Amino acid sequence: MSGRAQLMWDEAVTGYDFGPGHPMDPVRLALTRSLVGAFGLDRAVDVVAAKPAGESTLRLVHREDYIEAVRAASADPAAADPSYGLGTEDDPAFAGMHEASALIAGQSVAAAEAVWRGDVDHAVNFAGGLHHAMPGAASGFCIYNDASLAIARLLELGAERVAYVDVDVHHGDGVQAAFWEDPRVLTISLHEHPRTLFPQTGWPEEVGAGAGEGAAVNVALPAGTGDAGWVRAFHAVVPELVADFRPQVLVTQHGADTHFEDPLAHLAVSLDAQRAVQVACHELAHEYAGGKWVALGGGGYEVVDVVPRSWTHLVGVAAGREVAPEALVPEGWRQEVFARTRQLGPGRMTDGRWPVGWAAWEAGYDPADRLDQAVLATRRAVFPLRGLLA
């Protein structure tokens, strides 16, 4: 193993653009890439632009008729077929939609290939993590499900155990659906409770089916959950399951929309807690997956203050060049932010909550506490199916 990390980047991914006023503003990708460069992290990784995912790759997850519908809407947005989730308020059709979506998918697939081959230990595609797309439909700002495609490619290459950990505020429903009956893929999603947030799935009772029963894991967190509860829930569920599963590759999705400033959700997580979970995922990859780690972006709609800082931390963690929370944000980047958005950029790489304090599950739990009730529901639904104590 070279020990180096790989950053997947092609500026054309910013062409994934649903238009003015849509929450998924591609400026979040451009500003992240620029902040990565401002900290010199692009000199600590191999920056690679991969080819778009081709037809045979897309068909590892997506139906042929759906791919054709995306192509048609891409060529003529007015012809988008809403029965495929295209041309809707969440997923407006735009010219070049197929090409931009396939390009993002290609970066995640290439990241998985590089890690599997041993070219690098870690690979990051912060433009990816589009976890809502279904085999036959667009959903939740997602056209092609790059996370599922990366996992499917790993299986095609011979992987027998892939763990997927999703800490986006929204349930990773598309990835769960793709591998619902596949015991080779352990999907774990921590998200705001479906009672209060799209896509209204991800209940603890959703555990997979058939041979895959017990391979889908969902932690449905109460609205308002903050740093201590979020990190506690992660450590109360994820490490024990990953340790038992012993994946050959760990794929993680790091949507930044758990943040207290995010306009589309209701958790109260800081940048510092997001960084703490990134570090924890890195450690899990080394402890249980031979260091093989594919890290993806995801949601995140506070596009100046939150997303670029969160994913720059992710790149730093993967590169072995962690950015200190107290680090000053480079002034040149803040000037770029103002020039692009007319907003003032953040001053430091922290929300002032580092180090993040949390109580370990092993020290005891409170069955009357809403956060602990959520963790208990997950453990009771899944752990016995895997031969573990709830």
What residues are annotated to the active site?
A: 132
Q: 257 with 298: CB under 8 angstroms?
A: yes
Closest CA to 175 of 210, 205, 132, 142: 132
Exposed, middle or buried by CB within 10 Å (0-12, 13-18, 19+), for 137? buried
d(CA 130, CA 284): 22
Q: Which amino acid is at 350?
A: T
Q: Is the dihedral of CA 101, 269, 123, 287 positive or negative?
A: negative
356: Cβ–Cβ under 8 A, 6 or more apart, which residues?
227, 228, 231, 270, 272, 273, 276
d(CA 187, CA 176): 6
3-state helix, strand, coil in the chain (%, to 5): 40, 15, 45
